[in-house]
Every structure is written in structure tokens, then in C-alpha cells.
Structure 1
């Protein structure tokens, strides 16, 4: 499992962000795009206090392009090669549309361009509600915590619930909580299997709780901007966080853990009888792994010398520790969880590849 930051560092960063972020519901007609000759793109908003100018993150540019139905590759080409053309395109559509957008800013940058129905479930509210719940787990260890540009991750393990896959090969029950403040996925609470021998994490993504960031319509007929102040940022969905508590407890229960661990253990009996190179090639094509990722998974499969379904699952999750991008590393842990759910027919396609 890829190591992130400490809980203390996470708390400091969440507090820092709380002081510098701002959310607004803005009519499209009160926004425009300004791009200079070197491709620096700003969103200009006519706020009550004056004109605000905000740089974009790459994700926010992509979201704006998507909202305006401009292919992102073309958006970026205009930005770098014809900035005036980009502004004419973007501003024409902004002035034509009557939509209102949720604009989320942080450190003076637009970090997200979202629907006005977007339901904010902010990281600091989530952390304040779930960390006390997680700290009640017996002998809990926070194996990995991270805050990326697009998501927050909290991965915890309890040694009180564990099983042995093979002599000396122990796995323990855990949980991963993920949230995105910028529209990059649902808030989710999912069971985690942690393998001690190599610190691999496997996420059982089909057995958890998900909550979409969609709420009531926040629109109005008035051409005004709604700014969410600090006193309105606190989460008001207490019933949801009670459900989170129940899901956390269920995820690390002996019954739920035994079900996931049994599926993982069954992969020990799947022999990779075909060409390992072809097996990983089929895997890469099916799950969109690039050449570097495919080579990394194959290397772990060969080096660890376990030519079984179990070996392939562990090659995938072990490789995640080498991936620089934390978001992508977590996707490999999710892929490990997908593999243990594969039906026999799909495993044959991997195991017998030649």
C-alpha cells in the first residue's frame, strides 16, 4: 500500500484549506474567460465585492470544457496556440447559456466547475465525523492517509480480525474512506484487505457505501451570485454519518471480512497455465493499463514466482506501491478487488492466455 501523509499533517492541511476556499453559485452570464499570450487562463467573475479573477487547475479547465461541450484536446490546443479563439468560444457559450454553476475555489484558483445541484460533502466534515468512529476500532492502525488534488483517502486496519491465506501469509481487515470535493467520484466507505507480508492493500469496492454528490436545485431566477460562508459549510446530513458508522463497523466485522477473504483464498487454486506475458497483456487490455504499468505487474508476477490467480492479484496490488500518483495507486488496489470477484469464465481467459 502506498504511504501517504500523517493524520496530523492531514488535519493541518484541512484546516488551512478551510480558511482559503470559497464556493459560489454563479450564473453563466456573470463569468468570462481571459487567456493571455502564454496560455494562462483565468475565470473572471463579477462578484458583489468587485471583479474576481481566478486561475484554473487542470481539472477545472477540463470540467469547464465538458460543461460547454468543447472537446478538451481542442480546448487545450486553443489555450496554447490561439488564446483569443479560446476566449471567443468559451465566452460565447457562457453568455448564451442560462445555467448556473457551482464554482469551487481554493488558494485563489478555480478547482472545480460543477452543477448547481452538486451536494457538498467536504473533507473536513467527513474527517471530523469518521475519525472518531475509526479510532474506536480495536488496535486500529492508519496505514495510509492522503489528500490529493481530487480526493481524500483514509485507510485503516485492525489486527483483531485476520485470516491466514497460507502458512505465514496473514491478511487483516481494514477499511478505506474516499471523498472528492471536486466532482471526481462519490463519497465511499469500502472494506479493505491488508496483506502483512508485503503491505499490499486490496479494496472490495462492491461491498461498501456510496453517496453521490447530488442535492436539491440551488438555482434562482435572479442574476446574482450565491457565496457559501463558513457558517453554511458544515455538513447537515447527520443521518448519513450515522450510516457511515454502521458501514464502518460492518466492513471490519468477522462475517464480512471472512466473505472477502474467502474469495481471495479461492484464487490460490487458479493455476496460470498459459503464458504469463499473455496473461498480463489480457489484463492490461481489459483494464486499460499502460505499457509501464503492464511491465510492472508482470515483473512482480515473475519475481514473486506465484503463477496462480492469487499471485496475479498480489502482483497488481504490490505494483500499486510503485505508482507515483496516489489516485492511480489506489485504482490498482481497487483492481485487485475486482479480480477476486471475477467469474470462473473470465479467470479462464486470463489463466489460459497463450
Structure 2
């Protein structure tokens, strides 16, 4: 499993963000786009005490394009070759959508998200304050990997006392992943995690994921900019209580045994064909690039376990080499998805020639 930062470092960073962030529900008529010749997109907001300019990151630019139904490829082309045309397009559609409002999330004076006014904020710091004490109470709790990326927060915790020796010397431990996005990348998710002790591989059983959408009531702003600094504590508390129950289910003995048994069954899937072709079939299914495909093949060969179990562990093992934490987590999720492949799908991989 790819390591991130320490829990203390994560909490410190969340507290720093809490001071720097500002959320506003803004009527379209109070928004103007200004893009520099170098392609830096700024969102100018007519706030109660004067206009303020916020530099938008690439992600917020993409959200703005989608909200205004501007094709993203066209948006990027204008941003590169004709920034005046880009501003003309954005501002024209903002005028057409004058009756609409949007939730703009900023951090340190930069716009990091451009969202629907119905977007339900579930902030990372509130989630952490609520769920970390619950995670600490898990049997033999160990925060194996936590991280805060540009798009998501991850808490990956192992409950080391819930364990199973799948074969002599190969111990699996139960765990849970809690992840959340403040900027609309994904839902609040709680997922079972299986940790392989001998190689530190993590597998996320995303097919048994428990999720909470960021959808809520429409935030009305009228004709004015509405600052959203409240945390809607009563609603948050109810959601976080559900998260607590979801965590307990994710690390239960029943869930752990079910996933462990699925992993054990992959040991009986022999890779009888060309292993290079087997990895290529897998790469085609999950859109691995050439570097990723080569890395998975290397892990498979080095581990000398030419069966389904070895292939699953080659995928999750390679995740530790991936620089981007979000992408590394995707590899752990793909390992979990492989447990759900049908017999026919495994046959296509195992017998590839």
C-alpha cells in the first residue's frame, strides 16, 4: 500500500485549509471571466464589499465548462489560442444563465471548485473530527496510510486483530478506507480494505462500497452573494453517525471472511496461456498504460505465482510504485474489482495466447 503522510500532518493540513477556505453561492449575474494572454483563468466575483478576482485551477475550469455546456476540448483550445474568445463564450453563457446560482469553493484566494448550488458540503475536517475517534477504537487499529490530495482525503486503517491466514505464512488483515472529496470529484465512501501482511499490499473491495452523495437542498442566494461558512452541524452529525455504522460493517468478521474467500478462490485460477498476453488483456480491460502494464507484469513474474491470486497481487503490489496517490488507490480498487470477475472473464485472461 502506498504510504502518505502521518495522521498528525493530515490534521494540521486540514486545520490550515479551514482557515484559508471560503465558500460562496453566487448568482451568475455576479460572475465574470477574465483570462490572461498566458491562459490563466480568473473568476471575478462581485462581492458585497467589492469585486474580487480568483485564479481558477484546471479542475475548476473544467467544472465551469461543464456547467455552461461548453465542450471541454473547445474550452481548452480557446484557452490556448484565443483567450478573448474564451471570455466571450463564458460571459455570454453566464448572462444567458442569469437566473442560476453556483457554489464557488475557494482556498487561499484561488477558486478550487465551481459547483451546483445544490452541492452538499461534507468537509474533510468535520469528517476527520467525527470519524477518527471511531477508527481508533477498531480492534488493533493502525492508520496504515492517510493522505490529502488535490481532489480527495483518504483514511486507510487496518484492524490487525481481524486476520486470516489464507495459506501458511500468508496473512490477510481486515481494514477500511474512508474517502471524501470537497470539490465534487466523488462521494463520501466507506469501503472494506484487505491488507496482505507479507508484501504490504492493500486491496479495496469497492463492490461492497457504502456511499453518501453530496446532494442537498438548493442554496438560494437571490441577487446577492451568499457566504456559506456554517457547517450545517445537525445534518452533518446524522451523516457521520451513518458513516460510523458503515465503518463497523466494513471491518466486520462477516465482510472480511466473504472477501477473503473470494481471494482464496483466485488461487485456483491457473494462468495457462501466455502471461504477457494475460496482462495485456487485463490492461485493455482497465485502461493501463504501457508503463503500468510493464510494472504489473514484472511483479507477476518476480512473485512466481502464476495464478489469479498472483495477478491480483501484482496489480495491488504495483500500486506502491505509482507516484500519484489517487492513481495508486485506483489500482487497489482494481484489485478488488478483479475478485468480481466472472468465470468467463477470468478464462479470457488465464488462457490468453
State the shift of 1:288 in Å.
1.2
Deviates further, 34-43 or 71-80: 71-80
Q: Is the 8 Å Cα contact of residues 125 and 235 (structure 1) preserved in structure 2?
A: no
Q: Is the 8 Å Cα contact of residues 139 and 162 (structure 2) preserved in structure 1?
A: no
Report the equivalent of 2:28. 28
Deviates further, 64-73 or 317-326: 64-73
Report the equivalent of 2:318. 319
Report the equivalent of 2:133. 132
Return the alpha-carbon distance in structure 2 between the equivalents of residues 208 and 312 of structure 1: 22
Alignment of 1:20-59 (within 5 A): 20-59=20-59
Alignment of 1:67-146 (within 5 A): 67-97=67-97, 98-146=99-147
Deviations 1:216-272 (A, max 9, x none): 11135x21111012x446463322222211121121111110011000111000001
Q: Is the 8 Å Cα contact of residues 30 and 45 (structure 1) preserved in structure 2?
A: yes
SS at match of 2:208: coil
Q: TM-score, normalised by structure 1?
A: 0.97
Return the alpha-carbon distance in structure 1 between the equivalents of residues 296 and 167 of structure 2: 22
Return the alpha-carbon distance in structure 2 between the equivalents of residues 294 and 70 of structure 1: 34
* Unmatched runs of 5 consecutive residues or more in structure 1: none
Report the equivalent of 2:211. 210
Cα gap change, 1:57 to 1:178, in 2 (>3 Å): same
Report the equivalent of 1:330. 329
Cα gap change, 1:156 to 1:232, in 2 (>3 Å): closer
Is residue 13 from structure 1 mapped to residue 2 from structure 2 by the alignment?
Answer: no
4+ aligned runs moved over 4 Å, structure 1:
none
State the shift of 1:74 in Å.
2.0
* Unmatched runs of 5 consecutive residues or more in structure 2: none
Is residue 284 from structure 1 mapped to residue 283 from structure 2 by the alignment?
Answer: yes
Return the alpha-carbon distance in structure 2 between the equivalents of residues 338 and 182 of structure 1: 25
Return the alpha-carbon distance in structure 1 between the equivalents of residues 93 and 290 of structure 2: 39
Return the alpha-carbon distance in structure 2 between the equivalents of residues 239 and 13 of structure 1: 25
Report the equivalent of 2:183. 182
State the shift of 1:187 in Å.
0.2
Report the equivalent of 1:172. 173
State the shift of 1:133 in Å.
0.3
Q: Is the 8 Å Cα contact of residues 162 and 174 (structure 2) preserved in structure 1?
A: yes
Deviates further, 233-242 or 209-218: 233-242
Alignment of 1:291-306 (within 5 A): 291-306=290-305
Q: Is the 8 Å Cα contact of residues 208 and 247 (structure 1) preserved in structure 2?
A: no
Q: Is the 8 Å Cα contact of residues 5 and 145 (structure 2) preserved in structure 1?
A: yes
Q: Is the 8 Å Cα contact of residues 125 and 234 (structure 1) preserved in structure 2?
A: no
SS at match of 2:132: helix
Give aligned pairs, total. 352
Report the equivalent of 1:243. 242
Return the alpha-carbon distance in structure 1 between the equivalents of residues 234 and 178 of structure 2: 17
Q: TM-score, normalised by structure 2?
A: 0.97
Q: Is the 8 Å Cα contact of residues 270 and 308 (structure 1) preserved in structure 2?
A: yes
Alignment of 1:221-232 (within 5 A): 222-229=222-229, 231-232=230-231
Deviates further, 121-130 or 64-73: 64-73
Q: Is the 8 Å Cα contact of residues 122 and 235 (structure 1) preserved in structure 2?
A: no
SS at match of 2:127: helix
